[in-house]
Amino acid sequence: MTLPPTQAIFSAWVAWMQEEKQYAANTVSAYIKDGRSFIDFFVHYQGGEQEISWEALTPQDIRAWLAHRLQAGGCARSNARALSALRTFYGFLRKRFQVTTNVFLLIRKPKTPKLLPHPLEHQVLEMLLSEEIGLAHEPPWMLKRDRALYVFLYATGVRISEALGVTGKILQASGTISLVGKGNKERLVPLLPMVLQKMREYAEACPYALEPDKAFFLNLHGRPLGASHVRGRLHRLRTSFGLPSYTTPHAFRHSFATHLLAEGADLRTVQELLGHASLASTQIYVDVADQKILEVYRKAHPLEKPSRGE
């Protein structure tokens, strides 16, 4: 089968990820970046030839691309993600264009260090969930909106994209709300009374009408609040109030899982609450909780403290 031009294949792959596979927007964006990196490299690698012979690529070609990424300032973790992106691309080529080879399966993923998530300390959470800190010269209703969002993120453990997908129907909720998460999977999320209280306080202060079928969290101009805007606001709070560098929207999710496990919640329940498909994804929070226990133990045990004669 004769393959279409490279750019046409690339566009079809992007549409396939978005429409048929319904990958998360962040995943699609990262895979597009990695796919373009691959194509740009090979156009140069082949002396300017625009078309790539996908079935003729060799492991040596792929290793040359990965080495180039490292020389350009990349790391093992970004190379691992890039390999995942191109394996997905080859899966698309096999299904759509009957390309039978997948050279990327012959390349081992680079070993990456295990990075434990950083939950926020309780004192930082108390600051963020109260109305003690805020950005200067802003309408008071935006402070109430931020507090409602932060309380919602920490109390439910949802992803920022899931939280910003909530509509005005949440004001009619009682004990749970239905959310569509990663992989287009729907799940029930429990709502604590405090969450609903903060939501109502924000709704009463908001100068815009919060309609049941439209976005609940709005920006200054009454349009749906974006994830990048939330990240930017937290960055400004970090700078202004000396908060930890890992004070991000996702840190609320890390804190939710770690604190639940520290208080005795079982792993399977936390998995369901987080919407993880695999228990292994949730297991990392046990490692965080165990590490915290060891830190407290080492600081508190008399044998770890210097003797008075020293």
pLDDT tens by residue, 154-207:
999 999 999 999 999 999 988 888 888 777 778 888 999 999 999 999 999 999
Angstrom CA distances, 54 to 39, 43, 68, 102, stand at 11, 13, 19, 9
In sequence order, what are the residues at sequence separation of 6 or more whose Cβ sits closer than 8 angstroms to the Cβ of residue 100? 55, 94
Q: Which residue has the higher pLDDT, 245 or 77?
A: 245
Name the average pLDDT for the chain. Answer: 85
**DSSP annotation of 260:** H
CA–CA separation, 306 vs 281, rounded Å? 39
- Residue 115, pLDDT > 80, answer no
For the segment 277-298, the average pLDDT, to the nearest whole number, is 67
Beta bridge partners of 167: 215
Given 250, 280, 296, the domain boundary residue is 250
Question: 50-70, pLDDT tens digit by residue?
Answer: 788 888 888 898 889 989 888
The pLDDT of residue 24: 79
In the DSSP assignment, the letter for residue 132 is: S
Whether 298 is in a domain gets the answer no
Has residue 19 been placed in a domain? yes
**Is residue 131 domain-shared with residue 164, that is, in the same domain?**
yes
Query: Is 268 part of a structural domain of the chain?
Result: no
Tally the domains of the chain: 2
Query: Same domain, yes or no, for 151 and 201?
Result: yes
Residue that wins the pLDDT comparison between 310 and 34: 34
pLDDT at 234: 93
User: Domain containing 101: what range?
Assistant: 6-106
pLDDT range class, residue 302, cuts 50, 70, 90 = low
- pLDDT of 308 higher than 50: no
My answer on whether 95 and 131 are in the same domain is: no
Which whole number is the average pLDDT over 256-276?
Answer: 85
The share of the chain scoring above pLDDT 90, in percent, equals 35
Asked whether residue 271 is domain-assigned, the answer is: no
Q: How far is CA 223 from the centre of its chain?
A: 22
Catalytically active residues are: 159, 182, 250, 253, 276, 285
| 280 has a pLDDT exceeding 80 | no
Select from 88, 76, 72 the least CA-distant residue to 35.
Answer: 88
Last residue of a domain, one of 250, 266, 300: 250
For residue 43, name the pLDDT band (cuts at 50, 70, 90).
confident
Same domain membership, residue 152 and residue 56? no
96 and 15 in a single domain? The answer is yes
- If asked whether residues 100 and 74 sit together in one domain, one would say yes
Q: Tell whether 131 and 240 lie within a shared domain.
A: yes
Do 88 and 200 reside in the same domain of the chain? no
- Tell me: do 187 and 153 sit in the same domain: yes
How far apart (Å, rounded) are the C-alpha atoms in residues 189 and 239? 32
Cα distance between residue 206 and residue 216, in whole Å? 10
Residue-level pLDDT at 151: 95
Longest dimension (CA), the chain: 82
Exposure on the CB side of residue 36, measured as CA atoms within 13 A? 8
Tokens describing residue 139: 């309408």
Element (DSSP H or E) covering residue 251: helix 249-262
Q: Are residues 183 and 152 in the same domain?
A: yes
Instruction: Say what the pLDDT of residue 148 is.
Output: 95
The CATH number that applies at residue 38 is 1.10.150.130
Distance from CA of residue 280 to its chain's centroid?
17
Partners of 215 in the β-ladder: 167
Do 127 and 241 belong to one domain?
Answer: yes
